[in-house]
Structure 1
Amino acid sequence: MKQLLSLVLVGLCVTGFAQKKLHKLAIPTVAKAQEFWHYTPQHRPFLSAHRGGTRPGFPENCLETFEHTLEHTYATFEIDPRLTKDSVIVLLHDATLNRTSNGTGKLRDYTWQEVQQFRLKDSEGKLTDFRIPTLDDAIEWARGKTVLILDYKDVPFDKTLEIIRKHQAEAFVMVTVHTAKDAQYYHQRNPDILFESFIHTEKALHEYEAAGIPWKQVMAYIGSQTIPEHPALIEELHQRGVMAMVAAGPVYDKEYKAGKTDVYQTILKAGADLIETDLPIQANQGMQPMIPKKSDKNAFFK
């Protein structure tokens, strides 16, 4: 009995996440993922936590930060894969270690074994006990909980395809693509891949259409600020069953901090379906009046 208890305790220490109640997105299969991302008039707006939703005590691109965010709100996570010297994919936004950790210099100059010695800094630059995670660990943490959106830094497309295939993670790992040509490269090699696609204009929309990218596998990032052209673009996307996302970080998160507490509702009223934000906990509180009680997407929100 003592041995069994010891094993249980060790398991809890290794995961570090066993006892927490989380807001989970239940997306078990590629077919369900396509259903989840398909826009309908009865959709339910939600959030993407930019770099995980960093805040005091919780660094960006950190599993513990992701976990903390899900304690407070449903969210997907935009994260930043980069390569170490020995080609291990870790999560780090900058090419250098200085801003977000107590390391110095370029990540590419360190092996994974060396990277493990560094500790991460929180949003105020204070050192924490949290470490730089691997993408492998992030994917396995996310399984059954959320969706990871992989921004493009320096990881080759083929290596990204390889790690998604290795984990059989097509249902809950999405890749960011800036052009229809990039999406086509991925789609030809894995037809189940999901995309966060940069579609800022109707011209870009038609380029994706011409490239043969299935709309059921696309979520559209339309920009960081609502502009007069957006209603027509959003309408075109919605006609194709595509959700439209606005990134709040460059403008709207700053307005929220300045006291404009209704800013997230304003984004949704302008037609966006999904908000990427550095402040997911605050954004969740701000957008609550816009969450319908009844939605054909509610079954995904556990």
Structure 2
Amino acid sequence: MHCSAGQHLLLLLLGLLFSFETSAQETLHTIKVKKPKDVRAFFKYSQDKSPIISGHRGGIVTGFPENSIAAMEHTLRHTAAFFELDPRLTKDSVIVLMHDATLDRTTNGSGKLSEYTLAEIKKLKLKDVDGNLTEYQIPTLEETILWSRGKTIINLDKKDVPLEMTAAIIRKHKAEAHVMVTVHNAAQAKFYYDKNKEIMFSAFVKTKEALHEYEAAGIPWSHMIAYIGSENKPENKELFDLLHERGVMCMISAAPKYDKLPTLQERAKAYQSIFENGADILESDLPIEVAEAIQANMPAPSLRKR
């Protein structure tokens, strides 16, 4: 087929664009999950499994706002990770990502998020951790689900979105393989599980009593990781052992305490100690620092680089 000079130029430009996008994608460390059984296998505990990193609120670093796609992409260019995110509702009942109920801390807007429509929200810009205004917008949960497929797993915390709405959007996008939900108790887990037997949970299991409540509710251990809390303490060992016996990975969050240590060296030592004491997953505001801290004396997380 004969092509004009203009067509040749268009094909060349398209080729260059495709090459650029492919190159950018190749820099991402991705989690390979395509089916719900894949995410269950990824999170199944075994003694020889390498540590897993979770980016709290998508990661919180200078230049990249929390709860933004940009922050997650930045993390994935350095290390594999999955991400804890915070869904909230706009005035017109669209689910967007925002930790606070108000806009003041993380955007150039003010007031309650719930008093703004999506169209109004999209006019705002996000701030980074230092309060600097960025070019990035507040993403919708739907945008994030579409972006994350084939790249990572997202873990949706419980804010003001009704459980039914969260279950519905996961079902709509058939996203059970890469979208999981945080549940604070067995009743929340049962609500989701009764509606969708494929959903994966990040479940609060801070006591033996809570562990038994999940069992009594009939929630399969294969469908969850266990959030133990934010303290790296000897008392965790009993829960670690009970959950590991059930094939469940255990997660500690460094965000409230250990991420706030004043020096890089102190933080690195704390991250290493959390894994050495039995945790399998570390949730952190600083997932890149966590990866660097464990790289020297532990196997890299069992995630593949694309």
Aligned to 1:123: 129
1:180 equivalent among 180, 183, 186? 186
For 2:62 and 2:229, the matched residues in 1 are separated by 27
Amino acid at match of 1:150: L
For 2:23 and 2:118, the matched residues in 1 are separated by 23
Cα separation, partners in 2 of 1:259 and 1:44, compared to 1, 3 Å: closer
2:231 maps to 1:231: no
- Structure 1 contact 256–263 (Cα < 8 Å) conserved: no
CA-CA distance at 1:255 after TM superposition? 2.4
Aligned to 1:55: 61
Aligned to 1:200: 206
SS at match of 1:78: strand
Scaled by the length of structure 1, the TM-score of the pair is 0.93
Cα separation, partners in 2 of 1:255 and 1:217, compared to 1, 3 Å: same
Amino acid at match of 1:191: K
For 1:34 and 1:55, the matched residues in 2 are separated by 30
SS at match of 2:59: coil
User: Once the two structures are superposed, what CA deviation does each residue of 1:79-130 show, in whole Å capped at 9, x if it has no partner?
Assistant: 0001101111110000110000001111111110111100000010000001
2:95 maps to 1:92: no
Amino acid at match of 2:292: Q
- Structure 1 contact 118–131 (Cα < 8 Å) conserved: yes
Cα separation, partners in 2 of 1:16 and 1:135, compared to 1, 3 Å: farther
CA-CA distance at 1:66 after TM superposition? 0.5
- Structure 1 contact 17–67 (Cα < 8 Å) conserved: no
Cα separation, partners in 2 of 1:17 and 1:213, compared to 1, 3 Å: farther
1:221 equivalent among 218, 221, 227? 227
CA-CA distance at 1:57 after TM superposition? 0.6
CA-CA distance at 1:291 after TM superposition? 3.0
Comparing 230-239 with 260-269, greater Cα deviation is found at 260-269
Identity %: 50
Aligned to 1:264: 271
For 2:256 and 2:226, the matched residues in 1 are separated by 18
2:287 equivalent among 272, 280, 286? 280
SS at match of 2:261: helix
Cα separation, partners in 2 of 1:134 and 1:5, compared to 1, 3 Å: farther
Ranges in structure 2 where 5+ consecutive residues have no aligned partner? 1-6
CA-CA distance at 1:7 after TM superposition? 6.1
2:217 equivalent among 211, 217, 226? 211
- Structure 1 contact 197–219 (Cα < 8 Å) conserved: yes
Cα separation, partners in 2 of 1:102 and 1:31, compared to 1, 3 Å: same
Cα separation, partners in 2 of 1:20 and 1:133, compared to 1, 3 Å: farther
For 1:266 and 1:82, the matched residues in 2 are separated by 34
SS at match of 2:155: strand
User: Once the two structures are superposed, what CA deviation does each residue of 1:145-199 show, in whole Å capped at 9, x if it has no partner?
Assistant: 1110000101111110111011111011010000001100100000001000000
Amino acid at match of 2:79: T
2:34 equivalent among 25, 28, 34? 28
CA RMSD of aligned residues (A): 2.1
Aligned residues: 297
Ranges in structure 1 where 5+ consecutive residues have no aligned partner? none
Aligned to 1:69: 75
CA-CA distance at 1:276 after TM superposition? 0.2
For 2:18 and 2:118, the matched residues in 1 are separated by 23
Aligned to 1:146: 152
